[in-house]
């Protein structure tokens, strides 16, 4: 990491600025799903289930290709203050849509549709507890569940690589890795980065929450994210016993 | 139990006909909710969260009384075959509505609204894995979460008793307690019973799935349910360290 | 009836505790439907229409079996205070769902799907005026409409029996049969019972509105319901000229 | 009527071309509503209920003026072939919206808002059986229910006149009054006309179903409608005992 | 025009009572649609797009006949005070439904379905700016877009005539043609008239906004509308270079 | 630009790789809105309307601060193949939600809420014709409409800077600026960048559509975007006569 991290303000949880929270990846947390993972980034806890089924959506029939899609949701009591259920409101909010689409795109980046055959894998990422970084935890965990689901379908070769994701942000002028809620709400700039296991970018989504950021700050955040994703890739490998 | 249980057909999981599945009640499973319980009836796993907040719904304002309500939902991958999300479908199904209402009524049966003051406790019962008896597990676990939420609000005295619930059914002519999915789908008659810790009935919901049932069968099922609820009441007491 | 009914508090309408309200079953109230009944339990008035059509829902095609389903609804001005239309609200409430499902299950309990052939009968139970017991009136009337619809389809043999339903409750400690609205709102315990014409139970749905009830009270309510359903079965037979 | 009616093709029900179907207006059909009418135009049967309540919608508060609004709906089994419920479909169709708005406008044409005070009358027109002309029957019946509701609110003076409505159409070149379903589906031109008791027009809604119509045909239809509305006005007077 | 127009109160925009606003019909305003027109009636500006596609709705398949349908909508900022989006509200309002249906019926009045073959033309009429008469401008412009779409499908012969529409109303006792918003809100009677190019009526929709109107006033409005539609028909011909 | 742009494959429209399409910003396109702009990026045409109103949403009342929000939508016929209306589907899609949120965040980045006072400005960005880059055109045009709306509210000082947005992407290995539809669908990587007039980043949203991208490619895209936003900033200044 660069010298920006040498800031005198320490993180509440004592981590270094370029250090991930304690990460826990528990495979096989459910009995029915083809793949399932309880992924924890500190207090953030997301249940990622991959359901495999034969056949593909109508628009893809006869193509010989498979399909991977994802849905993200938060349990009402997962947040600091209870949130209303989207099923009760009768409509899915913009944020939920946005994150579901992000997860789907991220996983499809490492899928060879032809090698899947006409099978569908549906990822469900349900946030049991939210403490910042739920979408990046979801992507990181969902990849592991996807590996197990591909294996259960007998199409392990459909995976062309791995993906992991992490959040980075600038807090009080300091770039930091893997923001918990208390840092997330104070961040001037917030970025989610999805990368392959070989270090290429799949998604870069940066937003100025407070002040706009310059190119130098952007570069520092990208450096941090590259380190975080590399660390997560290694943890995924360990969890998969690969 | 009566002599009906002396049937030669053993249960798949080796239990006696009047025996509960292994029950596990884990308190404090979440960090934010006022009360939270992961309750397990065998492979059935329900996360019960009780969120406490000041104030009551508009129609109750100024009454000096509190309110308790509940919502039930199943995660898509909780079932043997993935179910579509109700938020995506844009409407809540009849079964979900029915169970949410049942849980709410059951918990309100042991609440003294006056002693609560104008506070609201919202129970969220989310089925993480379903293997039969999700609504009865939800009620049994939600009661424990409710106790913790009342304590956190400083209104422990608002609870006038305890509630627990269990399913019973007739399989191949034999009344059995606490049906897992494989028994539930084969049951001729299916009944959910909610009882107070002192052995009184709060809800009795019996349905002839196959043939209509006679009064003698109904009596045998009620006997079994009384035993099951008494056992669950004891397990709740242990979990609460009371 | 048992001695509980020897209470000194008379019913507002002068009935004995085990006496039904005046029941009126008018067949053929509509011109288009295959079967139609205007059923009256005192001031409660429900229009039950059975529409018959060839074919079955997709999931049942090719099975050779028929299907029976039901929908319940209340007209806005049927209640003491006008209720909003569910079509205007854009969603069906939990209570409506619950009752529609109950009516459907109750009628299906006396249907032999094979004898129906691949035909569908759709029951519509619309409450024109509500004064307690709308769901039990609906079931009792819908059965009669169903008989006419089966006859019109030429599958009279698809009916394996009859069903009737009645509400019972405990008011001021006294079990009573067929509660009008004024009694319903005061009932400590409220139970709806659906029975076949041969006296077997199809549904038992008891709820403690106030205090939980003991086994002896439950037994008294079941006794009352058995009597009420037997009386309704007789009235159905008369209406059908059987 | 003019010479167009001297057509050799007689009407199926034997009526003269300028003759209404048998009209029946039954007041007080419901017990709870402030005013209620079962109106029958031949086999068309519409239940019109007027619910009165204190207060007005938010946008009218403090104006000292009342409000009258209407909702129209068809029961599923009212039509020749069963129609799906709009509550089940989750949205109200264009035709329903259109007719509800027409009924509301028609009734408001004879209301003096100031004389009503800040009260609201809600008309519900539910078609129990449809055989053509449901919207015109609804308006004709709703007016009578409105009179009773105004009286019950003690604001009989809020009515500045009466309204009645009738359908007219051209069938095989012949203008005819009050079309039943069999004529309605064959009409080249279809017109619904709402008039006051004093013979002024409130609504004229003519549609060329087949060929466009010329001014002479339009005039003939208007003549017929004037006669029909005058006849209905007289029947309303009789029903109201005025 | 008749003598009613000899009123001393001049129109705000200086027009004669039987004079249209400046009308502008711009063809080919869009690049993708088969036909497109930006139509302007004074400040009222409606974008009419006709999308052509092979095939027809399911209920029409195999008939050999085509289909024409229309949807009307207003942009939020088109009105004097911003209106909420119907997509955001999640439901289409009654007025929108009503106008979409009117436009569709009007255009279908000049279509020979057989000559279209199994093709569908969908008209989208989006109001970019509203200043009264949006529905009549939409019909007038949509007809021109429809001509271009038929030509692009190679079925120019499917058009059996032309349609144009105009609003008329009585303001301060004076019948006037083509009302802008300031006149529309003050009109005692408001009528929209759709006519063919040969002077026959397709739709006549008159509404008493204030006082009911008599036959003489109705006749005066119809006279005005006939003149206005004839003028618009001529402008359509010019725009089409026919 | 860097050497990547020196590719031999020319762009279909003959532009240099770092060249914008012809940009047209027409202010005051509507009469009612406080600010309105028709913005054109080549064939992409977006109508941006800024409606100003006193008051703020409930959650912001009493704060003394203003609010700016945005909604994006596409007209059905704006796309190459007609898209269904979201109002008809009854729900807003994920893409629409995502872009509405992006536009709102981008504009709020240059707003001083305190200087606005308790006023709200609502931006409506309706795509009249889509040919790639609709969201970036919307942001660029909406900023200009926002300036006019602030002026009309008398709070010109609420703007702390300007924002503009552009899309960039890698096509056949070559980074290119401002992609039309034909390039967009072929892009391996697609990025939307929002920048302030002073060259700081507000949003960076990059997505690997085909292969993941490396840091060098990311840098090249950011360089291009910086140039494009600077050019757009200049065009905004000219349009505003500043």
Tens digits of residue pLDDT in E102-120:
999 999 999 999 999 999 9
- A86-90, C138-142, D115-119, E226-230, range with the lowest pLDDT: A86-90
Residue C133 carries which DSSP code? -
Mean pLDDT, residues A8-24: 91
CB-side neighbour CA atoms (13 Å) of E205: 20
DSSP state of B20: P
pLDDT tens-digit readout, C194-213: 999 999 999 999 999 878 99
Q: What is the pLDDT of residue F210?
A: 77
Question: Closest to E77 (Cβ–Cβ): which among F30, F87, F96?
Answer: F30
Contacts of B36 in chain A (CB under 8 A): 77
* D54: number of Cβ within 10 Å: 9
SS3 for B29?
coil
Residue pair E195/E225 in contact (Cβ under 8 Å)? The answer is yes
Residue F8: per-residue pLDDT: 52
Instruction: Give the mean pLDDT of E39-56.
Output: 97
pLDDT for res A10: 87
Q: What is the mean pLDDT of chain A?
A: 94
**Cα distance from C215 to chain D (closest Cα, Å)?**
38
* Pairing state between β E201-208 and D35-41: unpaired
Type and span of the H or E element at E148: helix E134-153
Distance CA D23, CA F61 (A): 57
Q: Are B131 and B43 in contact (CB under 8 A)?
A: yes
**pLDDT tens per residue across span B14-54:** 999 999 999 999 999 999 999 999 999 999 999 999 999 99
Mean pLDDT, chain F, integer: 94
User: What is the structure's pLDDT at C1?
Assistant: 34
- Please state the φ and ψ torsions of residue D185, each to the nearest 5 degrees: -70, -20
Burial (CB count <10 Å: 0-12, 13-18, 19+), residue A157:
exposed
| CA–CA separation, D150 and F108 (whole Å) | 53
pTM of the entire predicted model: 0.89
Here the tokens at position C131 are: 């004064």
Give the DSSP H or E segment for A50: strand A44-54
* SS3 annotation, A95-146: HHHHHHHHHHHHHHCCECHHHHCCEEEEEEEEEEECCCCHHHHHHHHHHHHH
What pLDDT digit, counting tens, does each position of F78-120 carry? Answer: 999 999 999 988 888 889 999 999 999 999 999 999 999 999 9
Q: Mean pLDDT check: name the lowest of A180-189, B50-59, B135-144, C88-97.
A: C88-97
Question: Between B94, B100, B204, which is nearest C204 by CB?
Answer: B204
Please name the residues in contact with B70: beta carbons below 8 A apart, sequence gap of 6 or more: B100, B103, B104, B107, B122, B123, B124, B125, B142
What integer pLDDT is reported at residue D94 of this predicted model?
Answer: 87
Asked if the model's pLDDT at residue A237 lies above 50, the reply is: yes
Give the span between the Cα atoms of E105 and C89, in whole angstroms. Answer: 29
Asked if A168 contacts A219 with a C-beta cutoff of 8 angstroms, the reply is: no
Residue showing tokens 């092979």? E54
Q: What angle do CA F90, F92, F94 make, to 5 degrees?
A: 145
The length of chain D in residues reads 242
Per-residue model confidence (pLDDT) at position A6? 45
Q: Is A134 annotated as a binding residue?
A: yes
Contact B90, F90 (CB under 8 A): yes
Which residues from chain C sit within 8 angstroms of residue D82, using beta carbons? 33, 51, 53, 122, 124
Q: Is the pLDDT confidence value at D6 over 50? A: no
Average pLDDT, chain E: 94
What is the mean pLDDT of the segment spanning C152-171?
Answer: 96
Q: Report percent pLDDT > 90 for chain B.
A: 89
Distances (CA, A) of C223 to B201, C168, C219, C226, D99: 17, 10, 6, 5, 50
Minimal CA–CA distance to C26: which of C45, C4, C13? Answer: C45
Alpha-carbon distance D27 to B22, whole Å? 64
Tokens 């106008």, residue located: E99
Per-residue confidence (pLDDT) for residue C94, from 0 to 100: 87
Of F94, F191, F213, the CB nearest to A101: F94
The arrangement of strands across the sheet holding A201-208 comes to A174-177, A163-171, A189-196, A201-208, F201-208, F189-196, F163-171, F174-177
Which tens digits make up the pLDDT trace of B46-103? Answer: 999 999 999 999 999 999 999 999 999 999 999 999 999 999 888 888 899 999 999 9
Cβ of F124 within 8 Å of Cβ of E36? The answer is no
For chain D, the chains sharing at least 3 beta-carbon pairs closer than 8 angstroms are C, E
pLDDT average, residue stretch F206-227:
94
pLDDT of A1 reads: 34
Opening angle at CA A98, ends A93 and A100, nearest 5: 95
Q: What is the pLDDT, as a whole number, of residue D110?
A: 96
Q: How many percent of chain F have pLDDT more than 90?
A: 90
pLDDT in the model for residue F169? 96
Chain F residues contacting A, CB < 8 Å? 91-95, 97-98, 100-101, 105, 109, 191, 195-196, 198-208, 211-215, 218, 222, 226
The minimal CB distance from C218 to the residues B94, B201, B214 is found for B201
pLDDT-derived band of residue C6, with 50, 70 and 90 as boundaries? very low
DSSP state of B159: B
Q: ipTM higher than 0.85?
A: yes
* Pairwise CA distance, residues C95 & C83, whole Å: 13
- pLDDT score of A8: 52
The pLDDT of residue F209:
82
Residue B216 confidence (pLDDT): 95
Distance CA E101, CA E105 (A): 6
Mean confidence (pLDDT) of chain C: 94
CA distance A214 to chain B (A): 36
What confidence category does residue C3 fall into, taking pLDDT thresholds of 50, 70 and 90? very low
Ligand-binding annotation for A91, yes or no, is no
Q: Per residue in A124-136, pLDDT tens? A: 999 999 999 999 9
Contacts of F32 in chain E (CB under 8 A): 77-81, 129
User: For the segment E61-117, what is each residue's pLDDT rounded down to a tens digit?
Assistant: 999 999 999 999 999 999 999 999 999 888 888 899 999 999 999 999 999 999 999
The per-residue pLDDT for E5 is 44
Residue found under tokens 């884990």 = B26
- Angle A44-A47-A48 from CA coordinates, rounded to 5°: 120
**Res. F5: pLDDT tops 50:** no
Q: Is A41 helix (H, G, I), strand (E, B) or coil?
A: strand
Contact F107, F146 (CB under 8 A): yes
- The verdict on a CB contact (< 8 Å) between A208 and F109 is yes
> Which residues of chain B make contact with A125, given a CB cutoff of 8 A?
none
User: What confidence tens digit (pLDDT) does each residue in D133-149 have?
Assistant: 999 999 999 999 999 99
Instruction: Determine the pLDDT at residue D8.
Output: 52
With beta carbons less than 8 A apart as the criterion, state whether C60 and C36 touch: no
Within chain B, where are the H helices?
86-89, 94-108, 113-116, 134-153, 181-184, 215-239
- Give the confidence band of C8 by pLDDT, cuts at 50, 70, 90: low
What is the predicted pLDDT for the residue at B8? 52
Cβ neighbours of residue B82 under 8 Å, at least 6 residues apart? Answer: A33, A51, A53, A122, A124, B76
Listed in order, strand segments (DSSP E) in chain E are 23-27, 35-41, 44-54, 67-74, 119-129, 163-171, 174-177, 189-196, 201-208
A16-25, D79-88, D158-167, E142-151: least confident range: D79-88
| Residue contact D204–E204, C-beta within 8 A | yes
């Amino acid at each position: 990491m660069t010298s920006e991290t040498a800031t005198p303000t320490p993180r509440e949880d004592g981590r270094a600025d370029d250090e991930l929270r304690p990460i826990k990846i528990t495979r096989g947390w459910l009995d029915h799903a083809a793949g399932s993972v309880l992924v924890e980034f500190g207090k953030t806890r997301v249940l990622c289930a991959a359901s495999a089924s034969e056949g593909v959506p109508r628009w893809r029939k006869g193509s010989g290709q498979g399909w991977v899609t994802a849905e993200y949701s938060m349990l009402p009591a997962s947040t600091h203050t209870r949130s209303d259920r989207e099923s009760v409101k009768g409509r899915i909010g913009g944020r939920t849509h946005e994150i579901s689409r992000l997860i789907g795109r991220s996983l499809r980046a490492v899928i060879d549709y032809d090698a899947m055959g006409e099978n569908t894998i549906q990822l469900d990422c349900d946030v049991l507890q939210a403490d910042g970084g739920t979408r990046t935890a979801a992507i990181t965990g969902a990849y592991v569940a996807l590996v197990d689901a591909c294996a259960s379908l007998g199409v392990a070769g459909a995976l062309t690589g791995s993906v992991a994701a992490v959040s980075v942000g600038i807090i009080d002028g300091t770039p930091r890795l893997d923001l918990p809620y208390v840092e997330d709400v104070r961040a001037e700039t917030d970025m989610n980065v999805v990368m392959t296991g070989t270090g290429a970018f799949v998604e870069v989504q940066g937003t100025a929450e407070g002040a706009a950021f310059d190119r130098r700050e952007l570069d520092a955040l990208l450096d941090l994210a590259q380190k975080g994703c590399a660390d997560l890739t290694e943890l995924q490998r360990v969890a998969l016993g690969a």
